[in-house]
Amino acid sequence: MKLKGKILSGFIILVIMLTIAGGWSIYELDNVGLTINKILDENYKSINLSKRMTEDLERQDSGILLLMLGRWKEGREILSKADSSFNSNLNFAFNNITVPGEKVNLDNISASYSAYRNLWEKPIVDTDKEGNFDWYFNRMHKEFMKVKYAVQQLADLNDKTMYEIASAAEQRSNRAIMPGIIAVLSSILFTVIFVYFVNYYVVNPIVNITSRVKMFIEKNRPFTVEIETKDELLELAESIKKLCEYESARVNTK
Amino acid sequence: MRFHVVLRYVAFALLLNSFFMGVATTISFFNNDSAAMPLLYSTLITALFGIFPLIYVPKSGNISNKEGLLVVVISWLSSCLVGSLPYLLWGGVFSFTNAWFESVSGFTTTGSTILVNIEALPDSLLFWRAATHWLGGVGIIIFVLSVLPFMGIAELVLFRSEVSSLAQESFRQRARNAVRILAGVYLGLTILEVIALKLCGMNLFDSIIHSFATIATGGFSNKNSSIAHYNSPVVEIVIMIFMILSGLHFGLLFTAVTGNIKNIFNSTITRFYIISMLVGIIITSLNLYGTNYDSWIDSLRFSSFQLLSLGTSTGFATADSSVWPAFTQLILIFFTFQCACSGSTSGGIKADRIVVLFKSFIRHLKQLMHPNAVIPIRIEGRAVDDKIASRAVSFVIFYIAIVFISTLLLSLLGIDSYSAFTGSAATMGNVGPGFGSVGSVGNYSQIPQLGKWIFSADMLLGRLEIYALFIALTPAQWKKSVSY
């Protein structure tokens, strides 16, 4: 191979190593970014909705307790607002299904909430249920806890998924770093080898040729240089050798 | 010392590695698994490092012994280094130490692993893992020599540097023929075992993985419970047969197959190897019957597999030998040290050296009684050169000394002495599993980082038969002429 080809090949190889490593690192980092967005947009949203639904349930429970104390107006007002908020949050959650198993969870919440709502929708004030804490704890509170547990399961599911995605993101970030590290180390090693070869096969022969030419001029020593490679340097050495032989012959005939 | 010439020959080894990485990459893309990019990048890096010296350095058929030795050592070290790239880039449990350990374990055909859950790796990475075994089994340089055209004196020098002097003694062939025989027998056995395992009901991928591991006497399975996963006596019998064959001198196998099969038993070493294994199996079966196993069949089945596995330095497991009686464990430890014959893919001290050691001892006894007598050591009717005999004895001494030093260093790191000792013996002998926490159903994941580096050094010392690595890493030696 010609000298130009050899030197060019060295740089091309270096560029290939760095380009692939760089490209791959960028790809993995991009994925890390997308993963983080996913965590924020999807899973965190669902966890937030679960929190709000839990708050709505707590307010409903407070409303029911007010009804138990005979305060109909305040109780029904709180219940109405909390119910409306809960349904709104539940609808948001239904439109934000991103995790396997989330739909089943939400259906569960919906079913258990219907059963809970059925209980407090019916009149409580001025009935035998008013002040009847046995009924409250045995029926109402049990249904309340069922819904609350179902909502908690939704939060737990998204929590777990968020953790898994975060772990995968961590692994992706390691994968983004590692090609970079290996590319840097490989490039350093490659550069050392490249410089060694250039020194041995290009610089040294040129230095040898130069010193032999000097010796021919100054001390009339025959020009003999060994060039291992079959490239422009060998052609140069052979041309100079012919020139020196011609010059010697010319001087001798004089 | 022409370092550029050394790099040219090392480049061939790297290209061979990149070829197999390329195959693993193809599997990865076909399966669409997570190791595609790690394998592709590793293939490219390795190939580029392999191609580059070939562009610059012209052909040279003439290399010195020193250069040949350096080619072998650097080829092994660089193969282990590039071999760790796929693991490192894939990530997971693979830190640099773990990736290096797994790669060294693969190429040296030790079979020790840091993986707790082997089956969690994608198939492509499991293939690469097995391929490192297959490449290292017969020797990376032998592989290179078998595929390249005639390289002049370089071929002889590289052959002598790669193959141990003991194996060369028995190879009464020219280097070129010896290379062809080694590679041919190796490939032939691998193909035969793949077919045999496939007929036993294993799927093709598992057959290839386990054949690579058996013929190279490596032991990397793609199942967490190794061969026990299959719970098949037929599979175990097939693997046992091929383990025994892989422990025989390949030249002997070749002459037996192409000439008279009975020639195998004409060899003193082979007779010792087979008889010692048989005796070991009988003794361990007797010891296990009534203690760990209630039936003779089970006792024979599991003891024979474990003994052959450790005795050929393969390292497969069908039972947890760590819970076997101490007597049986000690028998297995002996075979961990001895292993099989030279000229095979097995590690350890080798049966040949044990025979030479024993005969040296007998000769010494005779000389004590007859001080003026000239008593040569004879093996198969031929007198063994005193140099060979003394090399064998000093090798055994160095071997045991290294195991002892490793045990000491490992115990300083807090590893219990039994695990440290058996682990050192197992890695030095390229066997794989030891006892205690590094037993046949265990792994090396819990070993401290520095401990893994010590075990890796043991594996390399064992595979390169001690002297090569020491000479290559001792600058003072390069000033003297090296005869190896």
ipTM, two decimals: 0.79
Identity of the residue numbered B245: L
| CA–CA distance, A160 with A157 (Å, rounded to integer) | 5
Distance from CA of B58 to the nearest CA of A (A): 6
Least confident of A37-46, A70-79, B181-190, B236-245: A37-46
Choose, out of B45, B77, B100, B125, the residue to mutate when testing the contact with A (most A CBs < 10 Å): B45
Greatest CA separation found in chain B? Answer: 74
φ/ψ (deg, to 5) at B92: 65, -125
Over 70: is that where the pLDDT of B157 sits?
A: no
| Interval A121-142 mean pLDDT | 88
Question: Over the stretch B50-71, which tens digit does the pLDDT of each residue have?
Answer: 998 988 888 876 777 788 888 8
Cβ–Cβ gap B91/A194 under 8 Å: no
Q: What is the DSSP string of chain A?
A: --HHHHHHHHHHHHHHHHHHHHHHHHHHHHHHHHHHHHIIIIIHHHHHHHHHHHHHHHHHHHHHHHHHTT-HHHHHHHHHHHHHHHHHHHHHHHTT--STTHHHHHHHHHHHHHHHHHHHHS--TTSTTTT-HHHIIIIIHHHHHHHHHHHHHHHHHHHHHHHHHHHHHHHHHHHHHHHHHHHHHHHHHHHHHHHHHHIIIIIHHHHHHHHHHHHHHHH---------S-SHHHHHHHHHHHHHHHHHHHHHH-
CA atoms within 13 A on the CB side of B482: 23
Given a cut of 80, whether residue B149 has pLDDT beyond it is no
Tokens of B222: 């793609």
B51 vs A contacts (CB less than 8 Å):
13
Average predicted confidence (pLDDT) for chain B? 87
Residue B289: strand pairing partners: B293
pTM score of the predicted model: 0.82
The pLDDT value given to residue B104:
96
Candidates A25, A1, A73, A35; CA nearest to A168 is A35
Instruction: Tell which A residues from 162 to 201 touch B, by Cβ distance under 8 Å.
Output: 171, 174-175, 178-179, 182, 186, 189-190, 193-194, 196-197, 200-201
Smallest CA–CA distance, residue B48 to chain A, in Å, is 7
Question: Is the Cβ–Cβ distance between B434 and B317 less than 8 Å?
Answer: no
Q: Which residue of A has its CA nearest to B4?
A: A197
Phi, psi at B224, each rounded to 5°: -60, -35
pLDDT band (50, 70, 90) for residue B111: very high
Point out the least confidently predicted range of A182-191, B87-96, B380-389, B417-426.
Answer: B380-389
Distant-in-sequence, close-in-space partners of B299: CB < 8 Å, separation ≥ 6: B285, B286, B288, B289, B292, B293
- How much is the pLDDT for A159? 86
Q: Where are the alpha helices (DSSP H) in B292-445?
A: 296-311, 326-338, 351-369, 386-412, 417-428
Report CB contact under 8 Å: B41, A179: yes
**Cβ contacts of A13 on chain B, cutoff 8 Å:** 48, 51-52
Which of B37, B56, B92 lies closest to A24 in CB terms? B37
Q: Tell me: the pLDDT tens digits for B272-329?
A: 999 999 999 999 999 999 888 999 999 999 999 999 999 999 999 999 998 999 999 9
Determine whether domain A3-186 maps to CATH 1.10.238: no
Is the predicted pLDDT of residue B146 greater than 80, yes or no? no
- For chain B, say whether A203 makes contact (Cβ under 8 Å): no
Q: Does the pLDDT of residue B382 top 80, yes or no?
A: no
- Render pLDDT for B231-243 as a digit per residue (tens, 0 to 9): 999 999 999 999 9
- Of the pLDDT bands very low, low, confident and very high (cuts 50, 70, 90), residue B484 is very low
Q: Do A182 and B49 touch (CB under 8 A)?
A: no
C-alpha atoms less than 13 angstroms from C-alpha of A65 in its C-beta half-sphere: 9
Side-chain half-sphere exposure of A118, counting CA atoms within 13 A: 9
- A19 CB within 8 Å of a chain B CB: no
Q: Answer whether residue B481 shows pLDDT above 70.
A: no
Instruction: List CB contacts of B356: < 8 A, sequence separation 6 or more.
Output: B377, B379, B384, B388, B389, B392, B393
Q: Does residue B169 have a pLDDT over 70? A: no
CB contacts under 8 A, A 208-237 vs B, are 228-230
